Amino acid sequence: MELTAQYPSNIALVKYWGKKGQQLPCNSSLSLTLREAHTRVKVTYEQQHSAQPAFQYFFEGQHHPAFEHKVHHYLKAQPEFQTFLAHHTIRVDSENTFPHSTGIASSASAFAAIAAVFLKLSQPNLSTAEFRQKGSRLARLGSGSASRSFYGPYALWGELAGVPDSTDDYAIPIEEIHPNFQAMRDCILIVEQKTKKVSSTLGHGLMKEHPYAHQRFQEANHHSKNLLEVLQIGDFEQFISITESEALSLHAMMMTSKEYYLLMKPETIQIINTLFEYREATGTPVCFTLDAGPNVHLLYPESQKNEVHRFVESELRPFTKSLIYDQMGVGGQVF
């Protein structure tokens, strides 16, 4: 017997950086769900009555003891999955559809897919709404950002004053989107392919004693609130301003934590400056954001695709190792 889930990654426009309690965010975050960058997780299982059924994890065809340990530990900790785990021998095969070692974080798509497939196996009769809500919460317990991959094209995670249903427990979909933001593209410019030196877990931890933590959490909530409105009214100028400010604030937190560090590379800065010049000269609505790494995401509406791709190929490609043209998506599926 087997069941597969395929879930996409997402890119935060308002960043989650700093956590408390059981993987709860210190501020709200708001993201764009991607389409091409996703993880596929296949679970092959057999009923088993022995005391300790086997659990194996393969990543891109290879047995992966480190992921096996991490994922098994995560699954065993969730009461929802315990009965299924106790009664089946399980083999998990996971693969990312984005190219190997691009430096793109895969924890969001991976934990969304893992939570989704095990939830379906454990509780097959949930309604779509219940499945997404529970799945988002369970994915959050694996990796915070994974909670947002259950919805698309836009999702909000974290309690936000004045926004009904917003909660730290799971992400919710953002329903009211102006046509200007209903067809967005994301060109991911890969500057470095190596895995990042400082993990997100460590980065979140450094926010605990960060001198600017309080202001940062307030600023992020303020940005979420404003961005929700901007997405409704279709104001691209404000979208650019909030998104870029968030990306730089995230990296500013890294540079100003007690154990400071820098994840941007010279090429990251060259890309950002070239983009600023291009936007100044042409007025094209395109902006950047950054993950917790040196790679740059360029966001622009579908209507600007040809124009932006010309710019990317002629002016930005020299700064990159590779690039991925992605676009917004609607979330994942189990099949």
Q: Which residues bind ligand PMV (CB under 6 A)?
A: 12, 15-17, 29, 105, 107, 143-145, 200, 250, 291-292
Residue ranges in 20-95 assigned as alpha helix (H):
65-76, 79-87
Alpha-carbon distances, residue 278 vs 185, 284, 324 (angstroms): 18, 8, 20
- The minimum distance between CB 17 and ligand PMV, in angstroms, equals 6
Q: What is the DSSP letter of 23?
A: T
Q: State how far the Cα of 158 lies from the Cα of 180, in Å rounded to an integer.
A: 25
- Residue number, 121 or 188, with CB nearest to ligand PMV: 188
* E-strand stretches of 121-183: 154-157, 171-173
CA torsion, points 126, 157, 258, 104, in degrees to nearest 10? 70
- Residue number, 3 or 24, with CB nearest to ligand PMV: 24
> Burial letters for 107-136: b for 16+ Cβ neighbours within 10 Å, e otherwise?
bbbbbbbbbbbbbbbbbeeeeeeebbbbbb
- Residue number, 205 or 234, with CB nearest to ligand PMV: 205
**Which amino acid would we find at residue 161?**
A
- The minimum distance between CB 107 and ligand PMV, in angstroms, equals 5
- The minimum distance between CB 28 and ligand PMV, in angstroms, equals 10
- The minimum distance between CB 146 and ligand PMV, in angstroms, equals 6
- The minimum distance between CB 12 and ligand PMV, in angstroms, equals 3
- Residue number, 203 or 308, with CB nearest to ligand PMV: 203
CB 288 within 8 A of CB 271: yes
Q: Among 156, 41, 98, which Cα is nearest to 297's?
A: 98
- Residue number, 169 or 315, with CB nearest to ligand PMV: 169
- The minimum distance between CB 335 and ligand PMV, in angstroms, equals 25
Q: What is the residue whose two structure tokens read 């622009």? A: 300
